[in-house]
């Protein structure tokens, strides 16, 4: 049977958080969980931090130098096992390959609550067994015992008062005797003193001896002040401390994780976008726009997957930056396997040389697109594809999504 404290902590998790904790108990890292659940690494890390906080498990630790660093997956896994969370999940999740849907997690939580009730009833029964039996005392007997206790207490109070009065009487008697002894002590009397009378003798002629002159040598002391030492000025270097400039966080122009539906700032130009499983999905071919026409230098970050399998003109998904309209912008075409830069002028698509990237698998993209001055670049899996062109200094961000495609974790960051 699982620990009741572990069960109570687990029912506070959301289905997504419980799913991530389950795979952490299996020893998987954030990257492995992200690939297994087809989620962005940032989403997995965010949901993992929220779940560990609810379970009371720290994700940071202090080093011997006093600095703070992230704990390893093995250390967090040890805490999960020690808290018996993994044992509870293993006991109630019988089919780990199924999706952690909300309905399924509610059924699991119902089982957890039933387990908690059973544990609490069992603890209550054990506590009741340990309590001594209550003895029934008839009302008459209880009244007699209460009267006996009352008289016993009154006797103690009266006895204490008598003892205090006796002590006060003894102290008073001692003080009175001491005062009488002090008054009875004889005091010495003053005896008049005889006054002596002095009778002056008659004067006698006594020869006067003149004083012998003596020579007195008085030494002359000359006070000579010592020379004063005047310090020689020396050049003292002045140390000037120039503080290092502090890092300024990059301002976020817009972000949307689609957990609460489609943000009203999105402009639907064509098609039918829907929100499903916390993602922006295209129910049919869809055009969307976001931003202001004055946006100049910025980066666009998102996690997504295009439904097309072949790289054909017009068939991939499109992300346009500094867009004036659908026919004038700088765009990245991204399909199931390929990405490439294009400059679009009056509806004419001109691909940029040496900017094509081909994937080696069909996993979703974690894509960063930047437009800074006349320089454009996209980064996918650590590989950059840049080019330069003096065109469209500012503009919107647009998306063209094929039916069945989706994006998530969308963010726009202003560049200096």
**How high is the pLDDT of residue 295?**
96
Q: Are 322 and 393 in contact (CB under 8 A)?
A: yes
**How high is the pLDDT of residue 379?**
95
Phi then psi dihedrals of residue 381, to 5 deg: 55, 40
**What is the spatial distance between Cα 82 and Cα 78, in angstroms, rounded to a whole number?**
6
Any idea where the domains of the chain sit in the sequence? 4-128, 252-414
The CATH topology of domain 252-414 is Jelly Rolls (2.60.120)
Q: Enumerate residues 6+ apart whose C-beta is below 8 A from 202.
A: none
Beta pairing, strands 375-380 & 317-325: unpaired
**What is the spatial distance between Cα 7 and Cα 84, in angstroms, rounded to a whole number?**
9
Q: Which two tokens stand for residue 102?
A: 């909300």
**What is the spatial distance between Cα 28 and Cα 79, in angstroms, rounded to a whole number?**
15
**What is the spatial distance between Cα 14 and Cα 278, in angstroms, rounded to a whole number?**
13
**How high is the pLDDT of residue 82?**
64
Nearest to 278 by CA among 262, 302, 289, 254: 262
What DSSP character marks residue 361? Answer: S
pTM over 0.85: no
Torsion on CA atoms 29, 250, 266, 277, rounded to nearest 10 = 10
Beta strands (DSSP E) in 13-78 are 60-62, 68-70
Can you tell me whether residue 303 is helix, strand or coil?
Answer: strand
Measure CA 199 to chain center: 108
**How high is the pLDDT of residue 138?**
64
DSSP for 148-185 reads HHHHHHHHHHHHHHHHHHHHHHHHHHHHHHHHHHHHHS
**How high is the pLDDT of residue 241?**
47
**What is the spatial distance between Cα 79 and Cα 373, in angstroms, rounded to a whole number?**
49
Residue 281: C-alpha distances to residues 302, 403, 407 (Å): 13, 8, 7
Q: What are the average pLDDT values for consecutive 10-residue runs of the chain, which has 416 residues? A: 66 81 81 84 86 80 78 72 69 58 69 71 71 60 73 87 94 85 55 46 44 41 44 48 54 93 94 92 92 95 81 73 95 88 95 88 86 95 93 95 92 95
Phi then psi dihedrals of residue 300, to 5 deg: -115, 125
**What is the spatial distance between Cα 38 and Cα 278, in angstroms, rounded to a whole number?**
12
Nearest to 97 by CA among 48, 44, 26, 27: 26
């Amino acid at each position: 049977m699982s620990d009741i404290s572990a069960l109570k902590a687990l029912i506070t998790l959301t289905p997504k958080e419980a799913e991530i904790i389950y795979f952490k108990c299996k020893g998987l890292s954030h990257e492995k969980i992200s690939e297994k659940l087809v989620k962005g690494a940032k989403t997995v890390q965010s949901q993992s931090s929220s779940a560990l906080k609810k379970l009371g498990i720290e994700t940071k630790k202090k080093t011997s130098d006093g600095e703070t660093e992230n704990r390893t997956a093995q250390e967090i896994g040890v805490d999960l096992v020690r808290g018996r969370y993994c044992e509870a999940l293993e006991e109630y999740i019988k089919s780990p390959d199924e999706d952690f849907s909300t309905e399924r997690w509610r059924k699991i939580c119902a089982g957890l609550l039933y387990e908690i009730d059973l544990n609490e009833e069992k603890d209550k029964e054990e506590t009741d067994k340990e309590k001594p039996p209550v003895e029934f005392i008839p009302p008459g007997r209880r009244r007699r015992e209460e009267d006996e206790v009352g008289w016993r207490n009154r006797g103690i109070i009266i006895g204490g008062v008598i003892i205090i009065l006796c002590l006060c009487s003894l102290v008073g008697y001692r003080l009175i005797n001491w005062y009488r002894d002090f008054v009875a002590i004889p005091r010495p009397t003053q005896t008049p003193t005889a006054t002596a009378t002095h009778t002056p003798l008659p004067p006698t002629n006594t020869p006067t001896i003149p004083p012998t002159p003596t020579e007195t040598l008085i030494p002359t002391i000359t006070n000579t002040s010592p020379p004063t030492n005047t310090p020689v000025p020396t050049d003292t270097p002045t140390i000037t401390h120039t503080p290092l400039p502090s890092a300024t966080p990059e301002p976020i122009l817009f972000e949307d994780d689609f957990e609460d539906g489609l943000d009203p700032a999105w402009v639907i130009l064509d098609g039918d976008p829907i929100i499903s499983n916390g993602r922006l999905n295209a129910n049919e071919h869809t055009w969307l726009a976001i931003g202001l026409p004055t946006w100049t230098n910025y980066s666009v970050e998102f996690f997504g997957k295009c439904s097309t399998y072949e790289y054909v003109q017009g068939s991939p998904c499109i992300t346009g930056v500094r867009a004036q309209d659908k026919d004038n912008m700088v765009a990245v075409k991204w399909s199931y396997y390929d990405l490439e830069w294009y400059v679009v002028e009056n509806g004419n698509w001109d691909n940029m040389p040496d900017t094509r990237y081909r994937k080696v698998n069909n996993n979703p993209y974690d894509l960063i697109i930047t437009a800074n001055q006349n320089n454009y670049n996209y980064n996918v899996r650590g590989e950059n594809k840049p080019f330069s062109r003096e065109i469209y200094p500012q503009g919107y961000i647009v998306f063209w999504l094929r039916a069945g495609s989706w994006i998530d974790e969308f963010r726009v960051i202003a560049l200096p």
